[in-house]
Amino acid sequence: MTPSALSQHVVIVGGGFAGLHAAKRLGKAGCRVTLLDKRNFQLFQPLLYQVATGSLPPGDIAIPQRVVLRKYPTVRAIQATAYDVDPQARVLRHEHGELQYDTLIVATGVKHSYFGKDQWKPFAPGLKTVEHAIEIRHKIFKAFELAEVTEDPAERARLMTFVIVGGGPTGVELAGAIGELAHKTMVKDFRAIDPRAARIILVEGAAGVLPVYDRSLRDAARQSLEQLGVTVMTETRVEDIGERSVRIRRGDAVETIDCGTVLWAAGVTASAFGQILAERTGAERDRGGRVMVNPDCSLPGHDNIFVVGDLAKLKDAAGHEVPGLAQGAIQEGQYVANLLLARARGKTLAPFRYKDLGSMAVIGMNHAVGDLRLFKVRGIVGWFIWAFVHVASLVAPEQRVSVFLEWAWKYLTRRQGDRLITTNPTNTQRLRAERLAPGRNQAA
């Protein structure tokens, strides 16, 4: 790069796969970069369901951006929420101040969405953040705890019913992991209940789970789920979600399922910053709020502003829409970094071209289905390939070892340690005051 290029300031908003990989590549070349994120860590979302079901601690699938970027002295990471951008003045505004940029890369991703039914949110947590995963973990394990202690059979049955909405990879993986908890891991842990009596219902609107997959893999996935005790309801729509039940419709048949836990794995929408960027630049957005970009990931009319990762709606050079997967985000982040480095040398690059490395989903400990382009995999072979691919994708080398050791250990022992319910428990004095209040029967 030329000295003038090195003095340019690249500001990246969002430290997920896309933003972090752009920052690494630019940092390696010695560019001056500031990376902003609301969080101080990058999250490996494909494994988040394992945090939600107590197999992995969050620290094993997340790493602070500043640790990843430690070796690049020209890259600064700051934890801050960005809330405005001025494309004329080239200023990004964030909660602690503002940053002057030469180039802006926006990689703020997507969050989960209830398709306009936000009233369902308190009853059906989604799975996009570490907090969601911990909340889901508490819900799942608390349901079994309460089922063990209640003496009302109907209430016990309700508590042991789990409904997962959405039959994509996240829904399939969550349902499989809960099935495995109930049918394998926790079998001997209770006295009043048999965890195998749990009902785990996966609800999907399409004709099969994992709708983007090949027919034979879809069938294999369904079979694996059913072996773990999961009831798969396809062509079924959720009509309403309440505190203690879900109403579903299949054709003309409507059913209300009493349940203790509903998990939402059905939809995503663009981050709030995507809307702000579109307002300030006049960029177009699709129905899901994603920002339409040029084939080189730049915003139409703004060749120094780029959108990468899940927030971008991009048809690549081959005319294929880039899917919202980690591999797409990584490739786009690296592409934009390379493009900026080429521009600094007075050159340019051909439009972005997505390289599809295949996709996989895991069902329980040792079943996975995957379409790896050259061949399809399933069963335990699928699981091993899945485990290898995921461990290899973790950003930091020390995480690879740690996750791999945890998995190996868990695999050998079939135990799980991270089942802690760490919300504050019922306070003794408050409970006493309430139960022993004057006028109440003490023996109640």
**Residues in 91-150 at the binding interface with its own copies, rule: CB under 8 A:** 93, 95-98, 130-131, 134, 141-142, 145-146, 148-150
Is there binding between residue 440 and its own copies (CB under 8 A)?
Answer: no
Q: Which stretch binds its own copies (CB under 8 A): 115-123, 162-170, 328-336, 400-408?
A: 400-408
H-state helical runs in 250-396: 272-281, 326-344, 379-393
Separation of alpha carbons 324 and 321, rounded Å: 9
Of the residues 122, 153, 374, 426, which one makes contact with its own copies according to CB under 8 A = 426
Of the residues 318, 350, 436, 440, which one makes contact with its own copies according to CB under 8 A = 436
Is there binding between residue 405 and its own copies (CB under 8 A)?
Answer: yes
Nearest distance, CB of residue 209 and its own copies, angstroms:
30
* DSSP states along 151-217: --HHHHHHHTEEEEE--SHHHHHHHHHHHHIIIIITTTS-SS--GGG-EEEEE-SSSSSSTTS-HHH
Is there binding between residue 373 and its own copies (CB under 8 A)?
Answer: no
Of the residues 1, 78, 206, 292, which one makes contact with its own copies according to CB under 8 A = 78
The encoded tokens of residue 74 equal 């020209």
Is there binding between residue 420 and its own copies (CB under 8 A)?
Answer: yes
Separation of alpha carbons 209 and 167, rounded Å: 5
Separation of alpha carbons 120 and 264, rounded Å: 9
Is there binding between residue 413 and its own copies (CB under 8 A)?
Answer: yes
Q: Which residues contact 107 (CB under 8 A, 6 or more apart)?
A: 12, 13, 14, 15, 16, 18, 19, 22, 307, 308, 309, 311, 329, 333
Nearest distance, CB of residue 177 and its own copies, angstroms:
16
226 is catalytic: no
Per DSSP, 86 falls in state: E
The encoded tokens of residue 166 equal 């959405």
Of the residues 67, 344, 349, 385, which one makes contact with its own copies according to CB under 8 A = 67
H-state helical runs in 358-443: 379-393, 397-413, 428-435
Q: Which stretch binds its own copies (CB under 8 A): 72-80, 157-165, 220-228, 360-368?
A: 72-80
Separation of alpha carbons 329 and 306, rounded Å: 13
Of the residues 424, 437, 438, 441, which one makes contact with its own copies according to CB under 8 A = 424
- Between residue 296 and residue 355, which ones bind its own copies under the rule CB under 8 A? none
Based on CB atoms, which residue is closest to its own copies, 24 or 378?
A: 24
Per DSSP, 375 falls in state: -
Catalytic residue among 173, 180, 204, 332: 173
Is there binding between residue 391 and its own copies (CB under 8 A)?
Answer: no
- Between residue 19 and residue 48, which ones bind its own copies under the rule CB under 8 A? 38-41
Instruction: Tell me which residue of 293, 299, 367, 304 sits closest to 328, measured CA to CA.
Output: 293
- Between residue 166 and residue 205, which ones bind its own copies under the rule CB under 8 A? 188-192
Separation of alpha carbons 396 and 404, rounded Å: 13
Q: Which stretch binds its own copies (CB under 8 A): 21-29, 167-175, 314-322, 425-433?
A: 425-433
Nearest distance, CB of residue 187 and its own copies, angstroms:
9
Separation of alpha carbons 44 and 59, rounded Å: 10
Nearest distance, CB of residue 76 and its own copies, angstroms:
4
Distance of CA 435 to the CA centre of its chain: 41
Q: By three-state DSSP, how is residue 13 classified?
A: strand
Of the residues 1, 30, 57, 244, which one makes contact with its own copies according to CB under 8 A = 57
Of the residues 194, 214, 303, 398, which one makes contact with its own copies according to CB under 8 A = 398
- Let me know: does 65 contact 22? Beta carbons within 8 Å: no
> Which residues participate in catalysis according to the annotation?
173
